[in-house]
Amino acid sequence: MRLDFKGFELKSLDDSQGEGVFSGYASTWDKDLYDDVIVKGAFAGTLENDYAGTGAGIPIHWQHKDDKPTDIIGETLSAVEDEHGLLVTARLDLDLPEGKRAYELLQRGLIHQMSIGFLAEETAFVQDGKSSWDGYREIRQLKLFEISLVQVAANQGAEVLEVKSGRAISASNESKLRAALDSLHEVLDGIDSDNRKPDDDATDDSTDDSSDQPDDSTDDPKRKDQKSFDPQWAKEYQTISDFFSLQN
């Protein structure tokens, strides 16, 4: 048995229904990149017979993978046909590393499309041009097996409308991160441009050998308090800054 795949796009996130929950259109009634059109009513039979009429329990996969149990990263809470397409609400399994990673990608907007895996049960060719070859396949009834989060979808109209719950951290971890951020700011503040010599000092023709001069940096209280700059600090600073700049 060979399944067909049709894809759609995800939209936005909020925290109204709990962590790991997202919603969007798993299918629309628009023509996709393969010139197929799924018509309204095509999902009615499979939702009623396979998913108790509510659309709950449709497996959520990652990129249509089905080789191992961890390829199933969640399930739908509901699925219903409306005027635009098949609107689904689903929850990812955040106890799985794969589900947690997929959820993070949704939050960051790096993944924003869905695709459905189905078997077309009733189809027809619809002519829409002068030539008998001008037309498209109309899918009037199908059996739905799974919905996947994908990077590129065949149906570019399928959208994730909401991803529930922003990025959450514990109070203790937040305190540690903010303390680290303060320390990094202190390091950057310690780089005092006023204490740097002008460029023309570096070209001084003096023949004095600086290596013969004693290092009196430890005698200067101001230099004692000044922290040295390490590129690694800048990298860590950027990482933590990116963390706090994420939209909740």
- pLDDT tens column, 195-204: 555 554 444 4
Residue 64 pLDDT more than 50? Answer: yes
Residue 173 sits in which domain range? Answer: 169-194+217-248
27, burial (CB in 10 Å: exposed 0-12, middle 13-18, buried 19+)? buried
Q: Residue 100 has what pLDDT?
A: 94
Q: Which of 54-58, 109-113, 114-118, 220-224 has the lowest mean pLDDT?
A: 220-224
Identify whether residues 58 and 148 lie together within a single domain: yes
Residues 184, 97: one domain? no
Q: For residues 164 and 107, is the Cβ–Cβ distance under 8 A? A: no
Within 10 Å of residue 98's Cβ, how many Cβ atoms? 18
State phi, psi for 155 to the nearest 5 degrees: -100, 105
Average pLDDT in the chain: 75
| Averaged pLDDT, 172-184 | 62
Share of the chain above pLDDT 70, in %: 56
Tokens representing 119 are 């078997």
Provide the number of structural domains found in the chain: 2
The CA distance from 187 to 108, in Å, is 29
Please compute the mean of the pLDDT values over residues 2-28 and round it to a whole number: 68
Question: Would you say residue 61 has pLDDT above 70?
Answer: yes
Q: Are residues 91 and 150 in the same domain?
A: yes
pLDDT tens, residue by residue, 108-132? 888 888 999 999 999 999 988 777 7
149 in a domain, yes or no? yes
Nearest in space to 75 (alpha carbons), one of 26, 9, 126, 133: 26
Residue 20 placed within a domain: yes
